[in-house]
Structure 1
Amino acid sequence: MSKRSKIILIIIAIGFIAALIWFGKKNKKSIVEYETEKPFRTTIVKKTVATGKVTPLEEIEIKPQIAGIIDRILLLEGAKVKKGDLIATVRVVPNEQSLISAKGTVDNIRIRLSNAEISYKRNKNLFEKGVISRAEYEAVELTYNQAKQDLKNAQNNYQIIKKGSTGSSASANTNIIAQMSGTILEIPVKEGDQVIQSNNFNAGTTIASIADMSKMIFEGKVDESEVGKLVSGSNIDVSIGAIEGIKFPAKLNFIAPKGTEEGGAVQFTIKADLSLDDKYFIRAGYSANADIILEKKDSVLSIKEALLKFDKKTEEPYVEVKNAEGKFDKKTVKLGTSDGVNVEILEGVTKDDEIKIWNKASKDDVKKVN
């Protein structure tokens, strides 16, 4: 055998040995062993969160009965008041043209009354002497009495234009008083501001808003996909943004029969009576969230949602269950209520099945088989 042939044989032998070593190492690669979990029984609570705010149950706006200018403001925002307390006073600024016209009417009627009084006294003397009949005398007397009443009405009208009211009602119209007991939330006017009275054509200027801060409600909105599961009278928990770590109990008492579209989604207004804690002062308008239980199931067979897979064709949920040989079989499952972490299993697996934990194949999970 030539030297060249020996070299070729040696090269072939070395290649063969290297191939054997490579295949041997490949066959010795570790087998991935997946961890498993068994189904368990737990309580599943499905919740939704409604965003909103805390508002007083009773809140009113105080408006003036006359137009004028704010003369004095006696109280500040945040002050506690009782029904009937004086909040502010209004000074009437009469219309000059109307005032002159009313004054002219008073003067004209006063002249007419003076003439009627003279006629009345003359005819009274004639009647007492028997010169004229009773009917003639009573007609003159009626004219005189009507003139007196016309003067009184004209004077009242003049006082109303000048002062905003007449007689004992003068202070009632110019004084702005609290119509309920509570806390003054807002006084949107200041001294010197002009105000308009409330009437059929104008809502009027708000001088103050008052609310009973001892009775507060949560007002929020929920999506149309969840409103059908709400039950009036159910208990909810309200978290207030300004008070961390505290949940206030509330009772749902109103679900709007009509929704409003916001950002392409239909939202329904809900309201709940809030139970307050004397340790905390709740201000009107605090932002708040309400945790509302939509569905609750106690001690149901469940698994973690992370164990689920979905078939690409049928989109049915399934899990892989370990068999006696250590391999995993695909099993379709029927799901019930879910809370986002755990999901109820209605059919497909039992409490003794070992279910594959997905995405656990890491270097730490690999064990070499010798």
Structure 2
Amino acid sequence: MLPACDSGQNSNISSPPATKPQVSVVTLHPQSVAITAELPGRTTASLEAEVRPQVGGIIQKRLFEEGGEVKEGDALYQINPATYQADYDSAAADLQKAEAALPSAEAKVERYRGLIDQNAVSKQDLDDALASLAQAYADVAAAKAAVETAKINLAYTTITAPISGRVDKSTLTPGALVTASQDTALTTIRTLDPINVDVTQSSTNLLNLRQAIDAGRIKISGSNVSVKLKLENGTIYPLTGKLEFAESAVSETTGTYSVRAQFPNPDRLLLPGMYVRALVEEGVADNSFLMPQRAVSRNAKGEPTALFVNGEGKIEERVLDVGQSVGNNWLVNSGVSDDDRVVVEGSQLVRAGQDVDAVEVIIDDTTGEVRERKQGALPSTEAVSNVASNESLGKIEADASVKN
């Protein structure tokens, strides 16, 4: 009787119904995508000038505050002007002497011209008087030039700022002897507002961009290309810059070319030499699809693929033509269409042709993680993996109840 009872109880137990795997999907729609290139680079001063003396002498005073802001024409150093003042005074006296001899030479020429008609003086005397007058004019001109030279040298004893900007520390102190056009700069001035950012772009990316523009996939955004800046600590610089120029030749050694952008820097947050990454807006791709990077994998051939849920609720695998990355997404050139549902969670538990329950989720573009789930969706891919194990657990519990 016991085997008969066991047989009867087993016949009344039914296996739990099969459950479809649940996957999370994102519905794709065409949109206009701003194509940006993230390029490494360093900041450089928009203007930079090394201050050197143009005359020799002893530095008497330093007239600026180290590390402060100076304007063009501000006095920086004072060199002892005594020698140059004496040279100027001497040149001025020579000019007066030359100008004093000029009236006498002019009067002599005029007098000889009146007497030449009366044969009172010879023509040779008139020629000598004309030569003396020309010499007097030359002496005056030379004296004026000497005065101007002495005046310039005297002015050079006050060393002024050639540009506006922030001045570095002084390499020499008062009392030091300097010479004209010496190798050692007294200080350096850098203009920090605006500031330049020099970045490098590969020639391969340039070719890809030009071909995409020619094919009509990307429309250029005009001549005024805006540029964003990512700082060393990962934050975005609040002010927007603009592209100034790009080099017309590619480096034969590195295969890159330089691009310069200029940024306003009123708070002096950016200093020359900082490592930054410039986000250059190269154009706009209309009617394009962005697919979360977590949904894309590669097959045995190395081709990018993704799993989709079709209209019948079945899984299908497609090979994609993936372009560049845009944030945490891939720009897909072909292989998708409007309202396609791509699997972003649970892809490891399903295969092509399998029936699934698709639940819509929203992906955070900043982090690439799931930001919002539809009511009833599984909280994570781990919960999705529990679907299969729950079936086995149900069978074990049923067997245990029979034995009891």
TM-score range, shorter chain: 0.5 to 0.7
Q: Identify which of 164, 170, 194 aligns with 2:178.
A: 194
The residue identity in structure 2 corresponding to 1:364 is N
Provide the residue aligned with 1:226 in structure 2: 205
- Pick from 25, 30, 40 the counterpart of residue 51 of structure 1: 40
Are the counterparts in 2 of residues 64 and 196 from structure 1 also a CA contact under 8 Å?
A: yes
Kindly provide the CA deviation profile for residues 169-215 of structure 1, in whole angstroms up to 9, marking residues without a partner as x: 341233212334444345444441533428xxxxx553343344443
Measure, in 1, the Cα distance between the counterparts of 2:273 and 2:282: 25
Task: Specify whether residues 147 and 332 from structure 1 end up closer, same or farther in structure 2 by C-alpha distance, changes over 3 A only.
Answer: closer
In the alignment, the residues of structure 2 paired with residue 215 and residue 283 of structure 1 have an alpha-carbon distance, to the nearest angstrom, of 10
Q: Corresponding residue for 1:84?
A: 73
The secondary structure found in structure 1 opposite 2:156 is helix
Partner of 1:254: 245
Q: Tell me how far apart the structure 2 counterparts of residues 155 and 303 of structure 1 sit (CA, whole Å).
A: 81
2:348 pairs with 1:364: no
TM-score (norm 1): 0.59
CA distance in 2, matches of 1:352, 1:242: 38
Specify which of 226, 230, 237 is matched with residue 235 of structure 1.
226
Are the equivalent residues in 2 in contact too, given 1:79–1:184 (CA < 8 A)?
A: yes
Distance in 2 between residues matched to 1:283 and 1:323, nearest whole Å = 51
Aligned to 2:54: 65
- Note the C-alpha offset of 1:353: 4.3
Aligned partner letter, 1:281: R
SS at match of 1:368: helix
The separation in 2 between residues aligned to 1:49 and 1:364, in whole angstroms, is: 41
Corresponding position of 1:318: 305
The letter for the 1-side match of 2:181 is Q
Give 1:206's aligned residue: 185
- Could you tell me how far apart the structure 1 residues matched to 2:203 and 2:268 are? 33
Query: In structure 2, do the counterparts of structure 1 residues 317 and 241 end up closer, same or farther at CA, with 3 Å as the change threshold?
Result: closer
| Corresponding residue of 1:3 | none
Q: TM-score, normalised by structure 2?
A: 0.55
Q: C-alpha displacement at 1:250, in angstroms?
A: 0.5
Amino acid at match of 2:198: E
The alpha carbon displacement at 1:88 in A equals: 1.5
Query: In the alignment, which of 306, 322, 343 is matched to residue 330 of structure 2?
Result: 343
Q: RMSD of aligned C-alpha atoms? A: 5.0
Q: Secondary structure at the match of 1:172?
A: helix
1:259–1:352 distance in 2 versus 1, CA, 3 Å: closer
Distance 1:321 1:218, change over 3 A: closer
Equivalent in the alignment of 1:303 = 291
Which whole-Å CA distance do the structure 2 matches of 1:323 and 1:241 have between them? Answer: 44
Equivalent positions of 1:86-165 (< 5 A) are 86-90=75-79
**Partner Cα distance (2:48, 2:273) in 1:** 15
User: The residue matched to 1:171 in structure 2 has which SS?
Assistant: helix
Equivalent position of 1:172 in the other structure: 155
Q: Contact 2:78–2:157 at 8 Å: present in 1 too?
A: yes
Distance 1:147 1:349 in 2: 94
* Larger displacement relative to structure 2 (324-333 or 284-293): 324-333
1:253 deviation in Å? 1.5
Alignment size in residue pairs: 299
Judge conservation of contact 2:45–2:190 (CA < 8 Å) in 1.
yes
**Contact 1:334 / 1:348 at 8 angstroms: preserved in 2?**
no
Q: Which amino acid aligns with 2:281?
A: I
8 Å Cα contact 2:193/2:264 also seen in 1:
no
Instruction: Describe the shift of the 1:148–1:242 C-alpha distance in structure 2 as closer, same or farther (beyond 3 A).
Output: farther
Query: Letter of the aligned partner of 1:35 in structure 2?
Result: V
Q: Is contact 2:58-2:178 (8 Å) kept?
A: yes
Q: SS of the residue aligned with 1:292?
A: strand
Deviation of 1:272 (Å):
1.8
Q: Which runs of 5+ in 1 are unaligned?
A: 1-26, 95-131, 199-203
Deviations 1:67-108 (A, max 9, x none): 4554433223334334433221345999xxxxxxxxxxxxxx
Shift in CA distance, 227/93, structure 1 to aligned 2, threshold 3 Å = farther
Deviation per residue, 1:36-72 (Å, 9 max, x gap)? 4143237544433223333333333333333455443
Between structure 1 and structure 2, the one with the greater Rg is: 1
Distance 1:319 1:137, change over 3 A: closer
**What is the one-letter code of the residue matched to 1:269?**
S
Q: Does the C-alpha gap of structure 1 residues 357 and 232 become closer, same or farther in structure 2, counting only changes over 3 Å?
A: farther
Where 1:35 maps in the other structure, the secondary structure is strand
Q: CA deviation at 1:290?
A: 1.5
Q: Does 1:285 align with 2:302?
A: no
* 1:181/1:212 contact within 8 Å kept: yes
